[in-house]
Structure 1
Amino acid sequence: MELTRVIVILAQCVWPLWTQVIHLTDIYGTIKSPNFPESYPKEIDLQWNITVPDGYQIRLYFMHFDIEPSYLCEYDYLKVYSDSEELAVFCGKENTDTERVPADNVITSPRNVLSVAFRSDFSNEERYSGFEAHFSAADVDECRDRNDEDLVCDHFCHNYIGGFYCSCRYGFLLHSDNRTCKVECNESMYTERSGEITSADFPETYPKTSDCTYRIDNHSSSQPSRSESLVGEQHLPVCSPGRFCSQ
């Protein structure tokens, strides 16, 4: 066993120092090992970089898989990753304690890029037919459920193929960030002798990016009392969402 590991390490040192990279930008296609369905060659270092438009993910699934088995896939292997995130490493013909095969599983990239790297070492004791895989672009549903801290839109989210847009409830305006819903509440005038002031959308959570000013004007009341006339015009601005500042 130790001699085998030494041979593997030496073989890795003399493997080709370059990788053949194939760039794919179609929204669907097929990836095959060299010579498929015949046995693949020795000392292969091949990588497919798949890119689809923004707003899409990439789905990858295998129709055939037969790569030399080895402990933890240290000989021949196929690796799938997105940017620097490793998604899977496969080798062998069936799942074991140390080897994984894709079987009927579908791999979905977290973003619009996906890379598939295939490596074969300096020798194969048997003939292995390699693999055949298919990929396709899949629309990202940006409106799918998320936690309250990561909502795409404040009020309503509308998904379409390749993107999404937000809209607001009646009485609200869409902020310039195209996601946040705000209210226009500047210079609200109160002339009644008594009443109450509430934050926008009370008792619901007040809107983000709120900047409201409430003006209380007692001069317009008929026959004001002495105490009222001393009060005169008052301003109660909302300096930031949910906080009142007196002047």
Structure 2
Amino acid sequence: MRATVLHAPRDIRVENRPVPVVQQSTDAVIRTVATCVCGSDLWDYRGVNDVAGPTPGGHEYIGVVEEVGGDVTGIKPGQLVVGSFFASDNTCPNCENGYQTSCLHREFVGGAQAEYVRVPLADGTLVHVPGDAAEEYIPSLLACSDVMGTGWYAARAAEVKPGDTVAVVGDGAVGLCAVIAARELGAERIIAMSRHEPRQKLAREFGATDIVAERGQRGAARIKELTGGIGADAVWRLSYLSGNACCPSTISVN
């Protein structure tokens, strides 16, 4: 099968690699329908993170189940599924409390920029998409593999509730998905901090009521001005830190 492999900074190649097979009874192998380049992939590509030898690329994916292990009961061949970049059993205490990326048995799912992907802990990791998803919805479903879930987690961790005022720091894919999450959870006012006009437009389309382009103390002052000196009920930062992937840093002041 064809797959991307990063050999060194700015040296990424499409190579022929073996098709993955079921290794554990809880595995599934899927045929990839769509995958993408995550912003965190670029840290390795640009040489910010160390690359220890040839590394298969990608961790966001949607595909059709080809084969499952003997202990997989919730997923079957032929189903269209969306998977997470961390495999989780969805039964351990951390999963039961809603922290699947902290699963006691978690495994990172890499190598998704390929024609086939092996997914461990398939019952807890893969979500069946019911019915026949039209091709036009595939990109949106792919967002659920990473960025939408991360943005949703930030909003849930901040305990956003109807009527709240929230501030989202960061206008990348995760930040924009957090705007959607805040809207869906009923936030009345959503302040997006953004300095990029195309992303400001998207933030507005997704539910942002205000845009703040200022940063630092000026940005904080602008938010206080917009909220009558009170500030936001919840603030979360969804931006990249040097050498790290995008992780939500959430402050709830409800």
TM bucket (normalised to shorter chain) is under 0.3
Q: TM-score, normalised by structure 1?
A: 0.26
Q: TM-score, normalised by structure 2?
A: 0.26
Structure having the larger proportion of residues in helix: 2
- Which structure has the larger Rg? 1
Structure having the larger proportion of residues in strand: 1
